[in-house]
Structure 1
């Protein structure tokens, strides 16, 4: 799971579903909650700030 090495524990709580059966890059993407960060938030944020399946620049 992405982010698992930056946190003590992560769990997938849901998957994105637009409910319309329309495919898009986010459809089926895991929604996770991660706890017990292994570094300060200011150090982790640059690599975890994008929430979508298609990161930009």
Structure 2
């Protein structure tokens, strides 16, 4: 199951980009939604890495 863990290591960025696209389309401002989504995704990944390092 080690492959499953590797798959989820960078998934926060993908989730964040998807959320940013949805936000951008809902508010008709895709140029603002994408950077917000990328920031959210990087924050998710950093939080997961910090939690993993504490274990």
TM-score by length of 2: 0.29
Of Structure 1 and Structure 2, which has the larger fraction of its residues in strand? 1
TM-score by length of 1: 0.28
